[in-house]
Amino acid sequence: MTAATLERPVPPVQSEGPAPAARRNFSEELLKVEDISLSFGGVKALSNISFDIRKHEIRAIIGPNGAGKSSMLNVINGFYHPQEGTITYKGNARHQMRPHEAAKTGIARTFQNIALFKGMSTLDNIMTGRLLRMRRNFLWQALYWGPALKEELEHREKVEAIIDFLEIQAIRKTPVGRLPYGLQKRVELGRALAMEPELLLLDEPMAGMNVEEKEDMCRFILDVNDEFGTTIALIEHDMGVVMDISDRVVVLDYGRLLADGTPSEVRANKQVIDAYLGVSHD
């Protein structure tokens, strides 16, 4: 293996600057949703949701089952088109777009139920994350020679860096369908990282994992945020994890916004406690 493979993608400016404590000052908005309403026929999935995601932060979206968390990600991602409301991304109001257009603007995501390409190897799965950056047309690719080979190798090096980062070297050539659940989740994160996204949406990255796997996953999420400066929005049910790793938390319930603030603010919020624990009406 050449030395180049061990290099990680160059982290954006902020990593070498101020100390970690100062880094936790976020001011620049990356994405802002305002008054989003989404309904399927008579069912209101989201009503008048507004919040923002700032650059470089880890933003958690929590709420009981059916609260509309995944719908929110699907809206950001371009799968669902809300009936009302505006989405401002990188300072521009976003028109209605398809998921592949959202991908082009630097939004990547993972799914609650793993959405890997089961018939392909780990390496190929992560390589698909580089597709948007591969420029050679299919005639060059058919020759697999010259510029096409060079491009393929360049991207292979980037992917190998991600494989090293996620510590999945041993399963490089294994078809992902044969991998255990925890590793599949990791490969899916790898595929999203290969896109070098600015905004990474994680839908329950730790669901169904044991404590060690959760710890690994938390470490990867924090490292991605730190080293690559990626903004992360994540849905998670493990409150310990959410309170530990996120900078700000949005709480949804029945499609409405319940609370928005730092973990300690949210934890103290009366409505949130009621939503999670139930209210006694006496």
Partner 1 sequence: MLYREAGQFKTNYVADQAIFPIRQDRIGMAIVLLFAWVIIPAFGSDYFLEIIMINFLFFSLAAIGLNILTGYTGLISLGTGGFMAVGAVASYKLAVIFPDLSIILVFLISGLIAAAVGIVFGLPSLRIKGFYLAVATLAAQFFLDWLFLRVDWFTNSSTAIEGVPKTVFGYLVTGPNAEPFAKYYVALAFVSVFALLAKNLVRSAIGRAWMAIRDMDIAAEIIGIRPLPTKLLAFAISAFYSGVAGSLMLFLFYDSAEPDLFDINLSFKVLFMVIIGGLGSIAGSFMGAAFIVMIPIILTNAPDLLGLPISSDLAKHLEFMIFGALIVFFLIVEPNGLARLWQIAKEKLRLWPFPY
Q: How does strand 29-40 pair with strand 84-89?
A: antiparallel
Site string for partner 1, 133-172 (x = CB under 8 A): -x-x-x--xxxx---xx--xx--xx--x------------
State the burial class of residue 33 (Cβ atoms within 10 Å of its Cβ: 0-12, 13-18, 19+).
Answer: buried
Residue type, 9: P
Closest approach, Cβ 175 to partner 1, in A, equals: 11
Closest approach, Cβ 189 to partner 1, in A, equals: 13
Instruction: Give the gyration radius of the chain's Cα atoms.
Output: 20
Cβ proximity to partner 1, 153 vs 211, nearer residue: 153
Query: For the chain, how many helices (H) and strands (E)?
Result: 11, 10
Asked if 92 interacts with partner 1 (CB under 8 A), we say: no
Which secondary-structure segment (H or E) carries 23?
helix 20-23
Rounded-to-integer distance, Cα 230 and Cα 57, Å: 8
Cβ proximity to partner 1, 107 vs 257, nearer residue: 107
Rounded-to-integer distance, Cα 253 and Cα 275, Å: 7
Which secondary-structure segment (H or E) carries 260?
strand 256-261
Asked if 94 interacts with partner 1 (CB under 8 A), we say: no
Select the residue interacting with partner 1 from 91, 119, 147, 208 (CB under 8 A).
119
Closest approach, Cβ 207 to partner 1, in A, equals: 17
Binding site for partner 1 (CB under 8 A): 1-2, 77, 79, 98-100, 102-104, 108-109, 111, 115-120, 124, 127-132, 134, 136, 138, 141-144, 148-149, 152-153, 156-157, 160, 191, 195
